């Protein structure tokens, strides 16, 4: 459907350019209008892709500026064409130049002013003029409440909602528009797994907004010159002086290299794992066989692997074990242990 509409746009623009130029230059040069129409249509399609990522206030400001610029361009070109000699080529050149230059200036100025526009000030002014109660602006990051920029991985992960419930997060949770767009894209994915992850992320955001213990702010601030979402997050963190909350190890490395403070939920989960000391006794369910002869393997509630000597015969059963050593690896922690009864038997034999 979109391909058909874009094809019709190019055909219509080419035909319009042809018939606009035909009475001015004659049939022998009307192909100039045809080519110009095609180029204008292609430029419009490129502009369409870029404008989709822009906030609404920038789009409205750019549209208003472009319309104003085109009107001004025509008003300037009209008297000029009547002052100069009646030459169809020169007349066309004056109109094209005036509309192109002044229209472009109007577009860029309108987009810039649209970016600077603060709707909250307008609402406050209207409220004061009409006597209506003033609207409360959304929370903004401040010195007392620092901004914490979160990425898509943290939202989909979901643990951020539980962490915020505990009150350990002290700051304004800042969600960029480009992260929301990425989350919406995932939620609309044809892949069922991605779609469910995206919907879960949207539910987590809704849960965060209802949490009375934290403040959630949506920011329109974007960096159109940067393509990658991770790089945009780092740039936003720098611009706001904010911390970036993520589960993405690559984003952690990029942010740290650029001097942006990073909060990693996976690191937090690792740090909060209960400390296991040699000699400590615990109950473990033997779930599978180990690599070595007679070994059994179980897991703690946080996923830590527990290797148990001489426990293969107790598969599917809970056994009391005593920790002998703890090994910290790049992939996590491993606990080595022995059956408590084996330790007692060894001590008795000695």
Please give the Cα distance from 51 to 56 (Å, whole number).
9
Supply 342's token pair: 């084996």
Same-domain status, 234 and 327: no
Q: At 62, is the pLDDT very low, low, confident or very high (cuts 50, 70, 90)?
A: confident
| Position 126 in a domain | no
User: CA nearest 32: which of 81, 94, 93?
Assistant: 93
- Considering only residues 63 and 215, tell me which one the structure prediction assigns the higher pLDDT: 215
Quick one: average pLDDT of 159-179? 85
Do 285 and 239 lie in one domain? The reply is: no
The mean-pLDDT minimum among 28-32, 125-129, 158-162, 234-238 falls in 125-129
Specify the DSSP element, H or E, that contains 188: none
Instruction: Report the number of secondary-structure helices (H) and strands (E) in the chain.
Output: 13, 11
Residue 139 resides in a domain: no
Q: What is the pLDDT of residue 348?
A: 39
182: domain CATH number? Answer: 3.40.50.1010
- Residue 322 CA to residue 308 CA, distance in Å, equals 9
Asked if residue 169 is part of any domain, the answer here is yes
More confident residue, 104 or 51: 104
Choice between 105 and 141, residue whose per-residue pLDDT is larger? 105
Co-location of 211 and 247 in the same domain: yes
- Give 184-194 pLDDT, tens digit per residue: 888 888 888 88
Model confidence pLDDT, tens digit, residues 144-160: 567 889 888 888 888 88
Calpha distance 321→343 (Å, rounded): 9
Residue 267 placed within a domain? yes
Residue 142: inside a domain: no
Identify the domain boundary among 246, 271, 296. 271
Contact 324, 281 (CB under 8 A): no
Q: Coil, strand or helix: which one is 341?
A: helix
Last-in-domain residue among 271, 303, 338: 271
Residue at 263 is within a domain: yes
Number of domains in the chain: 3
pTM for the structure as a whole: 0.47
Residue 138 lies in a domain: no
pLDDT band of 142, cuts 50, 70, 90: very low
Is the domain of 91 the same as that of 173? no
Shared domain for 258 and 286, answered yes or no, is no
> Counting Cβ atoms within 10 Å, is residue 192 exposed (0-12), middle (13-18) or buried (19+)?
exposed
Q: Is 334 a member of any domain?
A: yes
Choosing from 248, 271, 294, the residue where a domain stops is 271
Domain that includes residue 261, residue range = 147-271
């Amino acid at each position: 459907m979109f391909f058909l509409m874009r094809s019709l746009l190019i055909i219509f623009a080419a035909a319009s350019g042809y018939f606009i130029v035909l009475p001015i230059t004659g049939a022998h040069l009307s192909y100039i209008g045809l080519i110009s129409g095609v180029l204008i249509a292609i430029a419009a399609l490129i502009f369409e892709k870029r404008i989709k990522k822009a906030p609404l206030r920038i789009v409205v400001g750019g549209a208003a500026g472009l319309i104003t610029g085109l009107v001004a361009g025509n008003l300037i070109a009209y008297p000029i064409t009547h002052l100069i000699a009646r030459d169809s080529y020169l007349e066309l050149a004056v109109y094209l130049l005036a509309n192109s230059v002044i229209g472009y200036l109007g577009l860029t100025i309108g987009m810039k002013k649209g970016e600077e526009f603060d709707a909250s000030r307008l609402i406050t002014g209207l409220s004061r003029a009409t006597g209506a109660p003033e609207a409360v602006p959304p929370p903004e990051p401040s010195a007392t409440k620092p901004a914490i920029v979160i990425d898509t991985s943290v939202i989909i992960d979901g643990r951020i909602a539980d962490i915020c419930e505990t009150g350990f997060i002290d700051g304004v949770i800042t969600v960029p528009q480009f992260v929301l767009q990425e989350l919406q894209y995932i939620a609309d994915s044809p892949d069922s797994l991605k779609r469910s992850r995206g919907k879960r992320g949207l539910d987590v955001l809704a849960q965060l907004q209802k949490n009375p213990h934290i403040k959630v702010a949506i920011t329109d601030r974007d960096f159109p010159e940067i393509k990658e979402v991770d790089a945009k997050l780092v740039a936003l963190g720098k611009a706001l002086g904010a911390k970036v909350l993520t589960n993405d190890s690559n984003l952690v490395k990029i942010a740290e290299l650029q001097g942006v403070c990073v909060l990693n939920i996976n690191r937090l989960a690792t740090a909060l794992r209960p400390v296991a000391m040699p000699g400590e006794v615990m109950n473990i369910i033997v779930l599978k066989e180990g690599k070595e002869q007679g070994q059994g393997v179980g897991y703690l509630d946080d996923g830590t692997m527990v290797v148990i000597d001489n426990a293969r015969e107790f598969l599917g059963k809970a056994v009391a074990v005593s920790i002998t050593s703890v090994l910290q690896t790049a992939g996590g922690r491993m606990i080595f242990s022995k059956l408590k009864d084996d330790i007692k038997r060894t001590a008795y034999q000695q």
